[in-house]
């Protein structure tokens, strides 16, 4: 497994080196590989689809401009998410809107069936839908610093070391912040579950 990751990293590093040498096709391949992971991260952070699209494009353009600074010791994904994270925080700070603004819920619902089991029973589908809704709400209500650490771990499957490098914090901070974020998310779950059962 480790060997496979290493081979993937090597192939990716080769693409980055080619892109550094001015090979636009190589950079386009990297964009194709990471456009959706970067987009879903910035979308969950910013909360606005149009803004997330702009941020995704900005992230890749900034990455291209910063390519000469990339060193093979850094994983390209971590480096890219670092750029995306900084760009997103800049936007949130500039617009003084650290609060999460819900994005188009209809669009989420439209995409939801792809993520579910191929043929869930109606009860299961309803329960899944309710739980996903609760998680969406919980995520919206979490502070940005807890939301980002949860997304990088649970959605992007990053190790603590990668999260630390992406966010520019220590691994110990990742460990404690992630635990707090999970507790907070679960508390929101319980809160919303209570609301739902009251309804």
Partner 1 sequence: MNEHRPDMIELSAYFDGELDPVRQQGVAAHLAACPACAAQLDLLRMLAADFERLPAATLGFDLAGVIEGRLAAAPRPQPRRDRSWRGLLPVSAGAAASVACGIAMGFALFGGAATPRIAAMSVFDTMPPGSLCIGLESCYTNGAKR
The contact set with partner 1 (CB under 8 A) reads 20, 22, 24-25, 27-29, 31-32, 35-36, 39-40, 43-44, 53, 56-57, 60-61, 64-69, 107-109, 111-112, 114-116, 128, 131-132, 134-136, 150, 153-155, 159-160, 175-176, 178-179, 182-183, 185-186, 189
* C-beta closer to partner 1: residue 78 or 108: 108
Token pair 């952070």: residue:
45
* Residues near 168 by beta carbon (within 8 Å), at least 6 away in sequence: 82
* Residues near 152 by beta carbon (within 8 Å), at least 6 away in sequence: 41, 81, 158, 162, 163, 166, 167
Query: Minimum distance from CB of 116 to partner 1 (Å)?
Result: 7
Q: How many CB atoms lie within 10 A of CB 63?
A: 25
Query: Minimum distance from CB of 87 to partner 1 (Å)?
Result: 15
Query: Minimum distance from CB of 39 to partner 1 (Å)?
Result: 4
* Residues near 18 by beta carbon (within 8 Å), at least 6 away in sequence: 26
* C-beta closer to partner 1: residue 3 or 115: 115
What is the number of residues in the chain? 199
Query: Minimum distance from CB of 107 to partner 1 (Å)?
Result: 8
């Amino acid at each position: 497994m480790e060997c496979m990751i290493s081979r993937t990293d090597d192939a990716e590093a080769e693409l980055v080196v080619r892109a550094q040498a001015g090979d636009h096709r190589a950079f386009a391949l990297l964009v194709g590989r990471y456009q959706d992971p970067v987009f879903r991260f910035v979308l969950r952070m910013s909360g606005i689809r149009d803004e997330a699209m702009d941020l995704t494009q900005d992230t890749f353009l900034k990455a291209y401009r910063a390519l000469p600074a990339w060193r093979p010791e850094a994983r390209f994904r971590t480096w890219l998410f670092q750029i995306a994270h900084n760009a997103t925080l800049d936007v949130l700070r500039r617009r003084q809107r650290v609060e999460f603004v819900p994005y188009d819920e209809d669009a989420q619902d439209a995409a939801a069936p792809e993520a579910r089991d191929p043929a869930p029973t109606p009860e299961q589908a309803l329960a899944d839908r309710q739980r996903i809704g609760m998680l969406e709400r919980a995520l919206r209500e979490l502070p940005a610093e807890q939301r980002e650490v949860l997304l990088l771990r649970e959605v992007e499957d990053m190790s603590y070391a990668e999260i630390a490098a992406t966010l520019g914090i220590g691994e110990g901070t990742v460990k404690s912040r992630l635990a707090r974020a999970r507790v907070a998310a679960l508390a929101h779950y319980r809160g919303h579950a209570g609301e739902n059962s009251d309804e």
